[in-house]
């Protein structure tokens, strides 16, 4: 009864928009802020989600195809999405996780359902430092929305690699080589990998490669935001 009463109160008491502080009703963002988000709706490469002129595979994916089969990105990594993600990752603002999870779930609503959702693993030392895995926090809301299993212990990050953000592309590939292991049964499974941001996609590529070697038949990348080429605003 107490849980039912709490759910009733949550529906009746208006929420405060996490971005502007205004009335968001029963949602986590108000309609104005939601409409103004940088939705990633331009013509884009279906494999890596970078903008293209015609929506076909980009030159980079034709030259060096990543191990993941498709990328679905809800938003472009621009203000205010970048601020929400940074608050979650670096300031421990867990209230941002359901917002980001809901936005991603909304974007992939019409996508074919995978068998498993796997959040990007963090090394245990990084989890001890932060106290949580941000991809798992986002992923739990996506999993709840679709009623899909979120497996947080099937894949592990076995190398404590330096952060990718300060590295050049080739250095990023070398940095994550052999960084993951898969200890569970993914044979003949369709998997969606969950992460907050895709920049070069090297970490997702390496994890997808590990899963394919373990027998997964299809691996998609579901990300909240995709970085755009320098200077490009769509």
pLDDT in tens, 96-114: 999 999 999 999 999 999 9
Q: Output the pLDDT for position 172.
A: 59
Please tell me the distance from the alpha carbon of residue 33 to that of residue 29, in angstroms, as a whole number. Answer: 6
Confidence of residue 143 (pLDDT cuts 50, 70, 90): very high
pLDDT (tens digit per residue) in 11-35 = 556 788 999 989 988 888 999 999 9
Tokens of 53: 């002129």
Confidence of residue 3 (pLDDT cuts 50, 70, 90): low
Closest-CA residue to 61 (of 207, 53, 70): 70
Please tell me the distance from the alpha carbon of residue 49 to that of residue 137, in angstroms, as a whole number. Answer: 23
Q: How far is CA 231 from CA 27, 42, 80, 114, 227, in A?
A: 33, 16, 17, 34, 11
Residue 217 has pLDDT above 60, yes or no: yes
Q: Output the pLDDT for position 6.
A: 47
Residue 234 vs residue 220, higher pLDDT: 220
Judging by beta carbons within 10 Å of its beta carbon (0-12, 13-18, 19+), is residue 120 exposed, middle or buried? buried
Q: What is the mean pLDDT of residues 63-85?
A: 96
Q: How far is CA 48 from CA 2, 11, 41, 43, 55, in A?
A: 46, 38, 14, 12, 11
**38-226 is classed CATH 1.10.260:** no
Q: What is the mean pLDDT of residues 124-139?
A: 93
pLDDT (tens digit per residue) in 112-127 = 999 999 999 999 988 8
Domain ranges (residues) in the chain: 1-36, 38-226
């Amino acid at each position: 009864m107490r849980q039912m009463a709490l759910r009733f109160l949550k529906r009746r008491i208006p929420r405060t928009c996490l971005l502007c502080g205004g009335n968001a009703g029963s949602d986590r963002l108000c309609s104005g802020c939601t409409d103004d988000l940088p939705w990633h709706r331009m013509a884009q490469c279906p494999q890596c989600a970078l903008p293209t002129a015609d929506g076909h595979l980009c030159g980079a994916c034709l030259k060096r195809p990543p191990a993941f089969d498709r990328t679905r990105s809800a938003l472009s990594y621009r203000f205010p999405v970048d601020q929400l993600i940074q608050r979650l990752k670096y300031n421990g603002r867990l209230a941002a996780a359901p917002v980001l999870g809901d936005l991603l779930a909304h974007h992939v609503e019409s996508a074919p359902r995978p068998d498993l959702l796997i959040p990007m693993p963090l090394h245990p030392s990084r989890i001890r430092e932060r106290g949580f895995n941000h991809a798992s926090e986002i992923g739990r809301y996506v999993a709840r929305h679709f009623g899909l299993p979120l497996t947080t212990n099937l894949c592990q990050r076995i190398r404590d690699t330096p952060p990718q953000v300060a590295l050049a592309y080739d250095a990023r590939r070398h940095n994550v080589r052999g960084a993951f292991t898969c200890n569970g049964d993914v044979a003949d499974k369709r998997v969606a990998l969950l992460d907050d941001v895709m920049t070069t996609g090297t970490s997702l590529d390496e994890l997808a490669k590990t899963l394919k070697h373990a027998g997964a038949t299809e691996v998609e990348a579901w990300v909240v935001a995709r970085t755009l080429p320098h200077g490009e605003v769509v």
